[in-house]
Structure 1
Amino acid sequence: MTVTLRPGRSDDLIEVGALHQRSRVAAYAPFLTTETLTEPTQAALGQYWQERWSHECADHVLTVAERDGQLVGFSYLGPDDQGDPTTGLLHAVHLEPAERGRGLGRMLMADALGEMRSRGWRAAALWVLQQNGPARRFYEQGGWRPTGATQQVLIGSTPAVLLRYRREL
């Protein structure tokens, strides 16, 4: 039952998309409607990840977590979306719902922060849904702090607010 982390590959992307969908449904179900969470589908998110990776693989890092040969989580990071060359952006940490609370998120976070340090970034940033209390607590326990910056987004047709968090490396 050992978890291993490894660099993501292009042949992981369909399963990354499926896991992303399962993770977001479990995390967002307390505050988003079922209709909102049915789109995009697992297949559509797999396609999204294939397209995204084709454009970003040169300067982004996908790390996958496997337990007994099965994909159970991933992280995705790259340069800051605000253009700060000293800051890396943690785009995603997603887990199989059954993995929540078992330490895998902390393992992926520690790995992502180490990768950011190795790239010479001095700080890390991320965006998290304002309504996602468990994720916000997870990040705050890991030393992340809200910056006060917000971003309006649509999840399906549902408006949502993202909060920007930051921490020193």
Structure 2
Amino acid sequence: MPVSAASVPPGVSLRAATVEDAEALGRCVIDGFAGYRAFAPAGWEPPPMAEEVAHVRRLLRSRQHWCLIAERDGALVGQIAVLPAALSGMPVDDASLAHLRNLFVHPDQWGSGLARVLHRAGVEASRERGFAAMRLFTPAAHGRARRFYEREGWQPAGEEFHAPGPDLVLIEYRLELSRPRR
């Protein structure tokens, strides 16, 4: 289902991200990851801000990376990013598979429908780019995220595993794109 202006929460606007947004996007990711402390192992820390901003900047320069941001009063309140799974941090050689890299919404937007709007836009962008399926990794202990993705039609794909990069136990989810969700 395409994103309609009527589905975007009041006062929020959507636009494609640019390289100039790298710092705000990086901050959004780090702020989102900070919430992981509630379920992460003791002493766990998000990646360094400078590292995330540099990574986001590289991705935004790629034509294969798609990123949509949500703003309210000029401040970033949400984002979603999608790229080919072959170019992700856990690459697979499958040209038909998109990787949902980030879907973060500022806590003051939780319950507003913004996450669903961004998710829908990411799914549609993946379909438009010819992908047949999407995958994502989320912390196994992140119940809120897992419930959201499952409501949106995602299915667990495999067992939980420890990922050294984020030093968290993750689970992979998959979403088939062969037909639009209603």
TM-score by length of 1: 0.86
Percent identity at matched positions?
A: 30
User: Where does residue 116 of structure 2 map in the other structure?
Assistant: 106
Q: Please show how residues 44-63 of structure 1 align to structure 2 within 5 Å.
A: 44-54=51-61, 57-63=62-68
**Cα distance, 1:153 vs. partner?**
1.4
Q: Please show how residues 17-166 of structure 1 align to structure 2 within 5 Å.
A: 17-26=26-35, 28-32=36-40, 35-37=43-45, 39-54=46-61, 57-80=62-85, 81-154=91-164, 159-166=167-174
User: How many correspondences in the alignment?
Assistant: 163
Superposition CA RMSD, Å = 2.0
TM-score by length of 2: 0.80
Distance 1:100 1:41, change over 3 A: farther
More strand by share: 1
Letter in 2 for 1:133: G
**Structure 1 residues not aligned, in runs of 5+:** none
Distance 1:71 1:146, change over 3 A: same
Q: Secondary structure, in 3 states, of the residue corresponding to 2:116? A: helix
User: Quick one: distance in 2 between partners of 1:98 and 1:65?
Assistant: 13
**Cα distance, 1:13 vs. partner?**
0.4
Distance 1:85 1:149, change over 3 A: farther
Q: Is the 8 A contact 1:22 1:97 kept in 2?
A: no
User: Quick one: distance in 2 between partners of 1:86 and 1:36?
Assistant: 34
Q: Secondary structure, in 3 states, of the residue corresponding to 2:124? A: helix
CA-to-aligned-CA distance 1:123-168 (integer Å, 9 cap, x gap): 1111111111110000000000001154421366xx4221111111
User: Quick one: distance in 1 between partners of 2:42 and 2:108?
Assistant: 20
